[in-house]
Amino acid sequence: MSDVAIIFCGSYDEAEVLSAVERGVSLLGGAEKFVQPGEKILLKLNWLTGDPPEKCVTTHPAVFRAVARVFQKTGAILSYGDSPGFQSPESVAKRTGCAEVAKEMNLPLADFRAGREAHYPEGKQNKKFTIANAVLDSDGVISLPKMKTHAFQRVTGAVKNQFGCVPGALKGEFHVKVPDAYDFAKMLIDLNSFVHPRLYIMDGIMAMEGNGPRGGDPRKMDVLLLSADPIALDATMCRLMQLDPALVLTNRTGQEMGAGTYLAENIRLLGDPIEPFIAKDYVVNRKQEQETP
């Protein structure tokens, strides 16, 4: 049974977001369950590019601030960052408002520019990756995805966020080397299992619908989702969008590969009831397609 916390948060007001994050983390066992004093913990944000927060392309700085505050109290040594698809990490940090938060909290920007080869013998699709130094030099990762639609995988959430652990232009090579959607999903699961974030905290206060992950429209969803199971979290996100989780390849492959569960009967929902958050008119691809296999 996988736990997913559903937490109402009606705005990006600093105090409201902090209260919501604290509540969600507490429901899952408390911050001390996930990190220990003195550990080097990377806060892995979702930075596609340097668009301002109101575009809903990236993790909102208010969520970043709240998560950092909760885990800084444990005595963990925090850093933050991502490898954007466009622009430099430094530029994106500034444009998204996260650099200002980091300066306020004395958090260093981790090294996502360079990486090292990492072997993952347990991988089903990929047995080695080039992983950013930021990830390899940390003791653990907390992943902060954004709730968005995605043209290639229908949605982008907890699982897809770890694709940013591959530095810079190397991400583009995967789309060439792994053109099949099913194999690409398996690659993402291998990558996620290797990085193995300890906790996922999804920013769905203002989500994105339509032509994501960058060209869509903001959608007010008023929710934070938290879980240690990325498949269960993404499945819950799908249910809020009135999207069958089985249509998302990373959910199916993730369950097949033992990375988590998307089945409702195997997910325990904590916090607020799910029903008020379900948006039946959420603009997302629900088309039943012939996929492999």
Q: How many CA atoms lie within 13 A of 230 on its CB side?
A: 35
Residues 240-286: tens digit of each pLDDT: 999 999 999 999 999 999 999 999 999 999 999 999 999 999 999 99
Q: At what angle are helices 14-27 and 61-72 packed, to 10 degrees? A: 50
Per-residue pLDDT tens listing for the chain (293 residues) = 999 999 999 999 999 999 999 999 999 999 999 999 999 999 999 999 999 999 999 999 999 999 999 999 999 999 999 999 889 999 999 999 999 999 999 999 999 999 999 999 999 999 999 999 999 999 999 999 999 999 878 999 999 999 999 998 888 888 788 999 999 999 999 999 999 999 999 999 999 999 999 999 999 999 999 999 999 999 999 999 999 999 999 999 999 999 999 999 999 999 999 999 999 999 999 998 744 43
Q: Is 289 inside any structural domain?
A: no
Q: Is 149 inside any structural domain?
A: yes
Residue 146 per-residue DSSP state: B
Q: Is 171 inside any structural domain?
A: yes
Q: Is 96 inside any structural domain?
A: yes
Q: Is 285 inside any structural domain?
A: no
Residues 36-70: tens digit of each pLDDT: 999 999 999 999 999 999 999 999 999 999 999 99
Write out the residue range of the structural domain in which residue 144 sits: 2-277
Q: What is the DSSP string of 264-277?
A: GGGEEEEES-SGGG
CATH classification at residue 216: 3.40.50.11440
Task: Say how many domains are in the chain.
Answer: 1
Residue pointed to by tokens 């904590």: 270
Q: Is 283 inside any structural domain?
A: no
Q: Is 284 inside any structural domain?
A: no
Q: Is 60 inside any structural domain?
A: yes
